[in-house]
Amino acid sequence: MKKTVTTLADGRELIYYDAGDDTVRTAVDPRPLTPVVSRSEIRIDVLTGDPVAVASHRQSRTHHPPADACPLCPARAGHESEIPDEGYEVVVFENRFPSLSGGAGRCEVVCFTDDHTASFADLTEERAALVLGAWTDRTAALAALPGVEQVYCFENRGREIGVTLPHAHGQIYGFPYVTPRTAAIRRRIDEHRAETGRNLFDDVLARERADAERIVLETEHWTAFVPYAAHWPYEVHLYPRRRVPDLLALDGPARTECAQVYLELLRRFDRIFGPGEPPTPYIAAWHQAPFTDARRADFGLHLELFTVRRAPGKLKFLAGTESGMGAFMNDVRPEEAARRLREVATDR
């Protein structure tokens, strides 16, 4: 993997990731941009203790531009872009409209392909591995920034999820705090250790493998399953068989297999609702241990992949109990979701 670091016209960092060591990147951003002025504010909810980022500058961010004005497509004559080169493999750059900024964390955009019509599931294994390499490299870079406590790599796909740019891309957040979900998992890890003397992630994986009814797929290094108490209609968790705290700690064989398994899961998601249905909207979220956690080795790296579509033409909208109280009710039995995800395996 070759990494080429440059800057955009307004001073934001842009990084090319190429599979070939002989690739040369020399394009310069010609746009007359002024430096981005954005400053997020972190406030604390006094009732829950949860941090909330206030980022009012994001109100003017780009919203569903026409395809010929996509800011994530390569630059060309008559089309200015966030990526000034005429083509690219994988690119990461600082978000022009960040949720976290001004010393309160960092937000980056990851473009998986220069093909405007492709999705992550369309990538080759080699390209998916390059994206994984970029995630890993940026995890290390953001973790080294002053004040960053947790690094989160994720992809939102589909208008139903709220995506405002259809070009295949994800984001990486360097949070200046431990996110509420991770903090809750951290508490459960400690409680489980106190109750049983064992690791929570190890026991969850052992239980799912022993039960097997909710297993979606297994390989030598990874296990994918629908969790026992899934929140979403179709939700899959992907665990490495050997617990590690983050992407940086994956060994070579697990890293190689990760790209293959991830692509298979995304392709199955697009088959859930049958032929003729539009692409399945989803969120793919990589959970990594906070870098400030003294007991981070107890945390288990894992992917949470889920969709808000519950049936053809029907979405799961959060009800008042879910939005207001965080009390989830699932319309699809987890065992049935797992069965369906086994049925739509690519090799069938």
| Contact indicator for 105, 147 with CB cutoff of 8 Å | yes
What are residue 266's phi and psi, to 5 degrees? -65, -40
Query: 330 vs 229, 309, 316, 325, CA distance in Å?
Result: 9, 12, 9, 15
Angle between helices 125-143 and 252-269 (to 10 degrees): 110
Catalytic residue list contains 169: yes
Q: Give residue for tokens 């699809």.
A: 332
Closest CA to 169 of 54, 238, 82, 39: 82
Query: 286 vs 82, 152, 237, 247, 311, CA distance in Å?
Result: 25, 6, 10, 9, 25
Active-site annotation holder among 57, 63, 79, 169: 169
| Contact indicator for 282, 269 with CB cutoff of 8 Å | yes
Active site members: 169
